[in-house]
Structure 1
Amino acid sequence: MTHPHSALADLRRPRLLVNAARHGLASYRRDRDLRRLIDDALPPERAVPRLMTEEERLEETRRAGDAAYSAMRHIEVLSALIAEARLLPAARV
């Protein structure tokens, strides 16, 4: 199984989207935002896979040019994903 840190490092997303997500880290509040994004306040070990699944769904919607795509939600999910991954223990080598 791939460690979330390496899976996150392997993501290839538009630079503008990633930069916006990094700026969103400053306003990310776990207690407020996580429940809204994935309908549950899970520990980081369980939240990260759920956020990755949601981010993949958003990326597919973006690439398809679907009118239902929300750049704002994508940025929020990416910000949460980065913040939650930072709470995980480092991968063992």
Structure 2
Amino acid sequence: MSCQDRESIVTVLQTLARIKRPQLLLRTARHGTRDYNRNTDLRRILRVPATPPPGVATVRALIELEAWQNEMRTRPPHEIGTPWRAARHVEVLIALIAEAGIMAEVVQPVA
């Protein structure tokens, strides 16, 4: 792994560490990771025809999707638009947690 790859992975992991969400959402998502199947779930969540490879690009796509879900969750109730669905937000968080774990396994501490 190149130094640049390691830096981009570390940057993404730092971004994830700064995300603050309600404990109920996170707890539910953590429980859901046990049943996560990246071949079917990731395609459905990202709405793509083929499962993307694990890595920084996939995690970044999920970070953006989760940020949008959170935006919908926190917007004022009088605004019209796509309604926030807790189940959709949780499934995005499940994929994000699982994919970040897969990506983090690649990062090995420098001796």
Does the TM-score normalized on the shorter chain lie above 0.5? yes
Q: Which residue of 2 aligns with 1:78?
A: 93
Q: Which amino acid aligns with 2:90?
A: I
Q: Does 1:33 align with 2:30?
A: no
Q: TM-score, normalised by structure 1?
A: 0.88
- Give CA deviations for 1:43-90 in whole Å, capped at 9, x if unaligned: 122211111110000000000145710100100000100100111122
Pairwise mapping of residues 5-84 of structure 1 onto structure 2 (< 5 A)? Answer: 5-40=13-48, 41-45=51-55, 46-65=57-76, 68-84=83-99
Q: Which amino acid aligns with 2:75?
A: A
Tell me how large the CA RMSD over aligned residues is: 1.9
**Count of matched residue pairs:** 93
Identity %: 39
Cα gap change, 1:8 to 1:91, in 2 (>3 Å) = farther
Structure of larger gyration radius: 2
Shift of 1:18: 0.3
Q: TM-score, normalised by structure 2?
A: 0.75
Q: Does 1:90 align with 2:107?
A: yes
